[in-house]
Amino acid sequence: MGEIIGAGIVAHAPTIMMSKEDRFELNEGKEISLVPGLHRLKAEVLDVLKPDTIVLFDTHWFTIVEFCIAAHGRRTGLYTSDELPRGMKQIPYDLKGSPALAHAMAERATEAGVRTTAIDDPWLPIHYPTVNLSTFLQGEEEWVSVSHAYSGEPDDFLKVGEGIGRAIAESDKRVVLIASGSMSHRFWPFRQIPLHEASDPVHISSPEAREADMERLRWFAEGNHAQVIDTMPDYLRHAPEARFGHYLMMAAACGGRGWKAKGRQFSDYENATGTSQVHVWFDKPDGGWN
């Protein structure tokens, strides 16, 4: 029997890939907390757990009519971002995959009611949530990326996550889930962005978005995932990244409304050009996820 041995919301903001000098210049002479947070996650969590596989819910892999799961035996190459080619360019990646698990997750998610397809096309693009985080967190484990159908509603994400959780339980893998994306995710208008690049959360797009994020961070700390799921219609007003599908798929795989794992922050709650960034990790309780 397979199992999920850890799960987390982990930010992939482009600033983490900048040089230390550039990060300090952007952030009023200080380090952003996301970078040391990633180093801590690697040393204190992943190096201890030693998962067989990391399943990463990639908020930049946009699909529309179906969800997709990367089923390659290996993905390797150099990545340059079309969004920010000046800051994220020619980043090497070499990721061992888990084809059998990818196919099983796609099958179980489809059976749960949401069309999901395993894809092993060698020319399939890779996206920077996967590349950026693997740069910091990769060990000897396999990596599998899951897309986001931007047409999806909360229930669709929950059903995909439910299917993924079932496939993991039926496997022989010890799996870590990473929901890679931000919380509220509105950018400042182009000409205002230079005024709001520091990490201080005062620069989040609106006080209302900041308060909605902080409310959910409190619920994460309490292990109150049912409240996060039940209030999604209200939270969508604040434009969480990818309709918060990365979190919803992860939560559903871990038990959905019954999931009680308490979150611990591995970074501050930070701004990135108006969007919110944070690392929150959920350890597997001694008694299991539910």
Asked if residue 290 belongs to a domain, the reply is no
Decide: 9 and 276 in contact? Cβ < 8 Å: no
Q: Is the dihedral of CA 118, 161, 100, 170 positive or negative?
A: negative
Q: CA–CA separation, 193 vs 241, rounded Å?
A: 18
- pLDDT of amino acid 147: 98
Asked if residue 127 belongs to a domain, the reply is yes
Q: Which helix (H) or strand (E) is 219 found in, with range?
A: helix 207-222
Asked if residue 48 belongs to a domain, the reply is yes
Residue type at position 191: R
Asked if residue 163 belongs to a domain, the reply is yes
What Rg, from alpha-carbon coordinates, does the chain have?
18
- pLDDT of amino acid 198: 87
Tell me the pTM: 0.97
Quick: pLDDT tens for 63-115. Answer: 999 999 999 999 999 999 999 999 899 999 999 999 999 999 999 999 999 99
Read off the CATH number of the domain in which 140 is found.
3.40.830.10
Strand partners, 55: 144, 177
- What's the angle, vertex CA 192, arms to CA 186 and CA 195, rounded to 5? 105
Asked if residue 18 belongs to a domain, the reply is yes
Asked if residue 266 belongs to a domain, the reply is yes
Quick: pLDDT tens for 207-250. Answer: 999 999 999 999 999 999 999 999 999 999 999 999 999 999 99
288 has pLDDT over 80: no
- What's the angle, vertex CA 278, arms to CA 158 and CA 235, rounded to 5? 45
Asked if residue 288 belongs to a domain, the reply is no
Residue type at position 121: D
Q: How many CA atoms lie within 13 A of 100 on its CB side?
A: 6
Of residues 207, 216, 225, the one with CA closest to residue 161: 225
Asked if residue 289 belongs to a domain, the reply is no
- pLDDT of amino acid 87: 87
Burial class (CB in 10 A: 0-12, 13-18, 19+), 84: middle
| Strand 74-79 to 91-96 pairing | antiparallel
Give the contacts of 51 (CB within 8 A, at least 6 positions apart). 5, 6, 141, 173, 174, 175, 176
Stretch 161-171: mean pLDDT, rounded?
Answer: 98
Of residues 6, 11, 9, the one with CA closest to residue 48: 6
The domain total for the chain is: 1
23 has pLDDT over 80: yes
Q: CA–CA separation, 106 vs 103, rounded Å?
A: 5
* Domain region containing 189: 3-283
